[in-house]
Structure 1
Amino acid sequence: MMRSTLPVLILAVAVTATHATTFEPALGVTLPDEVAGLSFAGKKEFPQKELGVNYAWQRNGPTRGSVFIYTAGAKAIPDGTEAPIVRRHFDQVIGEVQQMATIGRARSVTLSGSSEQVTHYSGCGPQFIWRGYEIVLDEGSLTSYTYVTGLKNNFVKLRISHLKGDAQAAKDTERFVQEIRKVLGGCK
């Protein structure tokens, strides 16, 4: 009798483990196993404390959404997008994106639009400074977006990338930002 229930118990535990959520102590939020149709793909803690942690969600295509939570060594990071330290950090992040071609990590990087934009979502959740860009890699071309805000004395950076021209992925990008901002804001 015990032998026949053991495989069922193991299967139940394995299925439960794949649908777990992850608590992020720096922000006091629980991150879901799915965001905008993207499945949780993992968590990476960086060895340098100031680089923080990265959570990723992904679907085939490939479409990948990531949330980075870190301080970058800053001692005081105000909430929102207006503080000079948040604006300077966003400029630094976009500068690093542009350098990808220079250091050989991409064939080219082309920023979209003439400058950054700020989200103006209604309801609960943080707003972000953001910028889109095209990255040409050996494997193909990606459309990517980077969003940055200050939240609970951390920088929060969202990065969403998908194959250039994938109309569904473009819709998923907006859904990802909308859904994850509600999670980050502790919205009900």
Structure 2
Amino acid sequence: MTIALPRFLASGLAVLALSANAATHEASIAVDFPDEVAGLAFAGRTEFPRKELGVNIGYQRSGLARGSVYIYNGGVKTIPTGAEAPAVRQHFAEVIQEVQQLQAAGKARISLHGSAAQTTTYAGCGPQFLWRGYDMELEDGTALTSYTYLTGLKNQYVKLRVSHQRGDDQGAKAAERFVQEIRKVVGGCR
């Protein structure tokens, strides 16, 4: 004999099962972020004091491999979806200028990779991103390779920052997997 659950109870149990591994929910883009992405464990969620600066959802693995997801609108009322819109491209240029300002402020030495931003060409579900890589040497001598990714989604900017120790091949692989997996998370892919 099977027991029939009321429809609302069955639906509620299904939602609980789907979100059982959710570390945090981000209402601005209606996404549940999991407790692990590409071998990087959820490291916390920071809500910035100014609403337009949004939130940071961090992931980390032992060593210095770190992935961060920033979701914000920067005070902009309308943000186009995707990576190719001129407004998203302009904002990405500003983001990269902010990275370069770390060097001007004496906080790090920065060496940008390539001559311009590129757009990802991942197959399957999930948004594409503008991206750029760079090497950083911090004041304390820590040498990192970092990547910044940006797309527009649900009237928000979604920016990824992924870093690992320079020369760490496992960190580089984890960084690439992180981007590929997080795009599926924010894209609502199953």
Is 1:178 the counterpart of 2:180? The answer is yes
Is 1:56 the counterpart of 2:58? The answer is yes
Partner of residue 164, structure 1: 166
Partner of residue 150, structure 2: 148
Say which of 39, 47, 55 aligns to 2:49: 47
Residue 103 of structure 1 deviates from its aligned partner by 0.9
Residue 104 of structure 1 deviates from its aligned partner by 2.1
SS of residue matched to 2:137: strand
Partner of residue 114, structure 1: 115
Q: TM-score, normalised by structure 1?
A: 0.88
Distance 2:168 2:63 in 1: 8
Per-residue CA deviations over 1:98-145 (Å, capped at 9, x if unaligned) read 110111221x10000111110011111000000000001123210000
RMSD: 0.9
Per-residue CA deviations over 1:46-74 (Å, capped at 9, x if unaligned) read 00000000000001111000000000110
Q: Structure 1 20/27 Cα, relative in aligned 2: closer, same or farther at 3 Å?
A: closer
SS of residue matched to 2:121: coil
Letter in 2 for 1:172: A
Segments of structure 1 that go 5 or more residues without pairing to the other structure are 1-18
Residue 20 of structure 1 deviates from its aligned partner by 4.9
Partner of residue 14, structure 1: none
Say which of 10, 25, 28 aligns to 1:26: 28
Distance 2:42 2:106 in 1: 29
How many residue pairs end up in the alignment? 169
Q: TM-score, normalised by structure 2?
A: 0.87
Runs of 4+ in 1 over 6 A off after TM superposition: none
Letter in 1 for 2:89: R
Distance 2:112 2:85 in 1: 23
Partner of residue 135, structure 2: 134
Segments of structure 2 that go 5 or more residues without pairing to the other structure are 1-20
Partner of residue 67, structure 2: 65
Distance 1:48 1:83 in 2: 26
- Identity rate, percent: 62
